[in-house]
């Protein structure tokens, strides 16, 4: 201990002297209205220290305040982004509901014009294999559906049921090679059978060369065959070609229904199935 005191005696003496001076200064400060020479020296000596301490304190207070503000801004920004995300989700849900409501209203209007019992269904699957072009809907035998029933959308014919399970059914599309629908050209009443060609197209088969068929003509179901009611829109004529030989003309048809965007359909129930 004595060695430590002897080693740092200069610093200890200086500290004691400084402490004594400060004590003397503080005791005399209360009793005097004016500072003496010693007091003025002390004030001048420590003024830079006080000034530096004040600046450091002010700077640190500003830094701390800015940090707190930054934390609050980050938290508010995160909350706002979450709120925006929720609002965008609700907007998308509302838009989807509006679109779905519009499609269902169109189906409801079609249901009123067809004059047959029907069941609305949603498209839940699609099969685009090289052999078959089909859709899967979420209605089946428990809903009164049976194989062979026609399937339509608001814009026209879709196809007919080929496989019916308890809670779902498979729809053979009118564009499939195995599909055939008795049809008539709406303008000229030229008759034929609409056959699927694949690739989203159809053709009007067995239309005689002398029949009046033009590009842009609308083709509708003729009602013959007992499957599709009369007057359902099938598609529009896109090409008419009359060869030099044969009794029939080649006619291509673009379906009225956009199968790729189909979401809801209407299955028509013939009255003899009630």
Question: Do the domain assignments include residue 29?
Answer: no
pTM: 0.62
CA distance 271 to 274: 5
Residue 241 and residue 250 in contact, taking contact as beta carbons nearer than 8 Å: yes
Are residues 159 and 187 both part of a single domain? yes
Total number of domains constituting the chain: 2
Question: Do the domain assignments include residue 141?
Answer: yes
Are residues 144 and 261 both part of a single domain? yes
pLDDT digits (tens, 9 = 90+) for 175-231: 998 999 999 999 999 999 999 987 788 999 999 989 999 999 999 999 888 889 899
Mean pLDDT rounded to a whole number for the chain: 79
Q: Which domain holds residue 256?
A: 118-268
pLDDT digits (tens, 9 = 90+) for 105-152: 656 666 666 677 888 899 998 876 665 678 999 999 999 999 999 999
53-61 average pLDDT score: 63
The structure tokens 């013959």 sit at: 224
CA distance 168 to 170: 7
Among the candidates 115, 130, 157, a domain finishes at 115
CA distance 242 to 210: 9
Among the candidates 115, 131, 147, a domain finishes at 115
CA distance 101 to 251: 36
Where residue 156 sits, what CATH number does that domain have?
Answer: 2.40.10.340
pLDDT digits (tens, 9 = 90+) for 4-17: 566 666 666 666 66
Residue 267 and residue 135 in contact, taking contact as beta carbons nearer than 8 Å: no
Tokens of 252: 């291509």
Are residues 110 and 126 both part of a single domain? no
Backbone angles phi, psi at 214, to 5 degrees: -130, 155
Are residues 154 and 48 both part of a single domain? no
Beta bridge pairs of residue 264 = 122
Backbone angles phi, psi at 55, to 5 degrees: -65, -40
Determine the pLDDT at residue 274: 43
Question: Do the domain assignments include residue 21?
Answer: no
Are residues 88 and 173 both part of a single domain? no
Question: Do the domain assignments include residue 216?
Answer: yes
Residue 156 and residue 256 in contact, taking contact as beta carbons nearer than 8 Å: yes
**Percent of the residues in the chain that have a pLDDT greater than 90, as a whole number:** 36
Residue 264 and residue 273 in contact, taking contact as beta carbons nearer than 8 Å: no
In the 3-class helix/strand/coil scheme, how is the chain assigned residue by residue? CHHHHHHCHHHHHHHHHHHHHHHHHHHHHCCCCCCCHHHHHHHHHHHHHHHHHHHHHHHHHHHHHHHHHHHHHHHHHHHHHHHHHHHHHHHHHHHHHHHHHHHHHHHHHHHHHHCCCEEEEEEEEEEECCCCEEEEECCCHHHCCCCCCEEEECCEEEEEEEEECCCCEEEEECCCCCCEEEEEECCCCCEEEEEEEECCEEEEECCECCCCCCCCCEEEECCCCCCCCCCCEEEEEEEEECCCCCCECEEEEEECCCHHHCCEEEEECCHHHC
Question: Do the domain assignments include residue 4?
Answer: no
Question: Do the domain assignments include residue 274?
Answer: no
CA distance 199 to 40: 102
């Amino acid at each position: 201990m004595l060695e430590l005191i002897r080693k740092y005696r200069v610093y200890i003496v200086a500290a004691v002297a400084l402490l004594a001076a400060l004590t003397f200064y503080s005791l005399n400060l209360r009793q005097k209205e004016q500072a003496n020479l010693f007091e003025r020296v002390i004030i001048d000596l420590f003024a830079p220290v006080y000034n530096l301490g004040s600046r450091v304190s002010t700077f640190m207070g500003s830094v701390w305040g800015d940090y707190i503000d930054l934390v609050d801004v980050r938290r508010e920004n995160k909350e706002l982004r979450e709120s925006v995300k929720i609002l965008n989700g609700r907007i998308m849900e509302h838009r989807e509901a509006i679109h779905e409501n519009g499609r269902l209203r169109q189906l409801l209007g079609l249901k009123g014009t067809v004059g047959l019992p029907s069941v609305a269904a949603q498209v839940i699957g699609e099969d685009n294999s090289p052999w078959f072009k089909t859709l899967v809907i979420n209605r089946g035998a428990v809903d009164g559906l049976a194989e062979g029933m026609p399937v339509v959308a608001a814009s026209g014919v879709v196809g007919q049921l080929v496989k019916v399970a308890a809670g779902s059914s498979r729809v053979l599309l009118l564009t499939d090679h195995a599909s055939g629908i008795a049809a008539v050209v709406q303008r000229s009443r030229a008759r034929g059978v609409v056959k699927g060609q694949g690739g989203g197209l159809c053709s009007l088969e067995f239309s005689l060369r002398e029949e009046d068929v033009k590009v842009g003509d609308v083709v509708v179901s003729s009602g013959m065959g007992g499957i599709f009611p009369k007057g359902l829109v099938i598609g529009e004529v896109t090409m008419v070609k009359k060869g030099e030989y044969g009794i029939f003309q080649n006619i291509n048809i673009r379906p009225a229904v956009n199968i790729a965007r189909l979401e809801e359909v209407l299955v028509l129930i013939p009255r003899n199935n009630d």
